[in-house]
Amino acid sequence: MQAKPTLCALAAAAAFAQMPAQAQVTISGFVDLNVESISSGGKTIKRVSSAGLNTSRLQFKAEEDLGGGLKAKAVHEITFGADTGVMGNPRETYVQLAHKDYGDISLGRLNLTSYWIYGYADPTFSADYSMLSNVMVFYAPWRESNAVQYNSPRVSGFQLKGTVTAGKEDGTKNGRVTSFGVDYRGGALYLGAATDRKQQVNIFKPGQIESSTDTYLSAVYRLGAHDLTAVVHHFSGYYAYPPYVDFRTSGNSLAIGGRFNLDDRNRIYVSVVKRNDSKNTDLADGTGLVVGYMHNLSKRTTLYATVGTVRHSQASDVRYPLSWSAANPLNNENPRGLQIGMRHGF
């Protein structure tokens, strides 16, 4: 079953190697491993796990200066479980044209506009126990295939962003997403706003197209060496994780946290997310907490320890996971976990 991803990886590497000599080609990535104890799904698992701080991955990137302020770029990212060596889910793969005066346009598999806007306000930067990824965003869209994305040049601190996807390309609207936003960077302040709308087929009623809308407001304030973060999220509509589960809901969630740099080598991060679902039928209200410590042995190598938990207000059929590698808590369970590990970038 792993032959196809492996061949794709080799083909991608060969394609990049054959690019013109003037293009700058780099290979980079992360290997991230930890020892973990996680309680979810009615059991406590003690294991070696991958991707505590970052998804273990390889990135092939080619860049070329075309002159006149125009640049071309191609990126292909391959993920893998560093504990097993097995290929994982695809990350970003795209081509891009960028001009210093007119912005950039990309085509391929891309993180949505909203991802970059709320992601900067995630103290964990989308780590395995990220409360924004696992509780706030939950089943909302965030990385999509068949996408076109545009980012304007930054003017007076403001930048406009937009992403549109073609969906499943099966003649229906299934999987189509639009994601638009704007952000501001000025001095110690970052502000962002984005809205996503996704259309997808009802997984138990084929042919019936449903929709969902997610809106995000995010803020980061730099206080000396520290970042204080906040995200407000409104969600409404139909959400599904084919072929397993679907539900309709609406409500709001709030995330607050911070990144606290004790010195050049040591950082603590804290993130709390409170999610309120107004319908409270399939879902319960939930609160997620993660606290982590990072010690940089060098610019490339980091030791870390992370503890997290998700608490639910009542029994429910669909629970918020602490980690997507343990994504099936029981209907009356509050998952919790601890990771101690090392990340190396190259």
- Number of CB atoms found within 10 A of residue 153's CB: 14
Specify whether the CB–CB gap between 216 and 140 falls below 8 A.
no
Nearest to 88 by CA among 153, 18, 9, 158: 9
Fold assignment, 3-345 = Porin (2.40.160)
Q: Which residues pair with 193 in a beta bridge?
A: 182, 217
Q: What integer pLDDT is reported at residue 130 of this predicted model?
A: 98
Rounded Cα–Cα distance for residues 38 and 45 (Å): 5
- Number of CB atoms found within 10 A of residue 298's CB: 9
How is the chain split into domains, by residue range?
3-345
Rounded Cα–Cα distance for residues 334 and 346 (Å): 36
Residues ≥6 apart with Cβ < 8 Å to 220: 120, 121, 189, 190, 227, 228, 229
Residues ≥6 apart with Cβ < 8 Å to 237: 198, 210, 211, 212, 213, 248, 249, 250
Residues ≥6 apart with Cβ < 8 Å to 308: 129, 131, 288, 289, 290, 291, 322, 336, 337
**Token couple for 265:** 């080598």
Residue owning tokens 């190598």? 301
What sign for the dihedral angle of Cα 284, 51, 198, 136?
positive
Rounded Cα–Cα distance for residues 285 and 16 (Å): 47
Q: Tens of pLDDT along the chain (346 residues)? A: 333 344 444 444 554 455 454 568 899 999 999 999 999 999 999 999 999 999 999 999 999 999 999 999 999 999 999 999 999 988 999 999 999 999 999 999 999 999 999 999 999 999 999 999 999 998 899 999 999 999 999 999 999 999 999 999 999 999 999 999 999 999 999 999 999 999 999 999 988 999 999 999 999 999 999 999 999 999 999 999 887 789 999 999 999 999 999 999 999 999 999 999 887 677 889 999 999 999 999 999 999 999 999 999 989 888 999 999 998 899 999 999 999 999 999 9
**Token couple for 263:** 């010195």
